[in-house]
Amino acid sequence: MSLHSFKSILPRFQGKQTDLVDWIVDKHYQSMELAQLPDRDRLKNILKRFCVSEKQIGNRSFDIDREFIYELSHGSQSGLDIGKRHEVYGQRCLEILNEMYAGTEETPDHLIHVTCTGYLAPSAPQIYFSNLPNAPEVTHAYHMGCYASLPAVRMAEALAKSRSQKVDIVHTEMCSLHLDPAKHSPEQMVVQSLFADGHMKYSVDTQTTGRRLEVKSVKEKIIPDSIHDMTWNPSATSMQMTLSKEVPDKIRGHLPEFLRTLTDDPHQNCLFAIHPGGPKIIDSLQSQLELSDEQVAFSRKVLKERGNMSSATLPHVWKEILDSDYSGKVISLAFGPGLTIFGGMFEAKK
Average pLDDT (88-97) is 97
The string of DSSP codes covering 297-316 is: HHHHHHHHHH-B-GGGHHHH
pLDDT surpassing 90 at residue 246: no
The answer to whether the CB of 332 falls within 8 A of the CB of 346 is yes
Lowest-confidence range among 79-83, 182-186, 212-216, 261-265?
A: 261-265
104, amino acid identity: T
Of 241, 55, 57, residue with least CA distance to 146: 241
156 in any annotated domain: no
137 in any annotated domain: no
The parent domain of residue 218 ranges over: 212-349
| Phi, psi (degrees; rounded to nearest 5) at 243 | -145, 110
33 in any annotated domain: no
pLDDT surpassing 80 at residue 279: no
Q: How many domains does the chain have?
A: 1
What pLDDT does residue 350 have?
Answer: 87
Count of CB atoms situated within 10 Å of the CB of 161: 13
Count of CB atoms situated within 10 Å of the CB of 49: 9
pLDDT digits (tens, 9 = 90+) for 110-168: 999 999 999 999 999 999 999 888 889 999 999 999 999 999 999 999 999 887 789 99
202 in any annotated domain: no
Lowest-confidence range among 2-6, 87-91, 208-212, 343-347?
A: 208-212
Average model confidence (pLDDT) across the chain: 92
78, amino acid identity: S
What pLDDT does residue 180 have?
Answer: 94
Share of the chain above pLDDT 70, in %: 100
What pLDDT does residue 58 have?
Answer: 96
322 in any annotated domain: yes
144 in any annotated domain: no
CATH number of domain containing 343: 3.40.47.10
For residue 272, CA distances in Å to 7, 123, 220, 232, 251 come to 21, 33, 17, 26, 16
Average pLDDT (280-302) is 93
290 in any annotated domain: yes
Lowest-confidence range among 7-11, 43-47, 297-301?
A: 43-47
Average pLDDT (77-94) is 95
78 in any annotated domain: no
Reported as a pLDDT band with limits 50, 70 and 90, residue 314 is: very high
The answer to whether the CB of 108 falls within 8 A of the CB of 5 is no
What pLDDT does residue 315 have?
Answer: 98
Residue 174's Cβ-count burial label (10 Å; 0-12, 13-18, 19+) is: buried
What pLDDT does residue 123 have?
Answer: 97
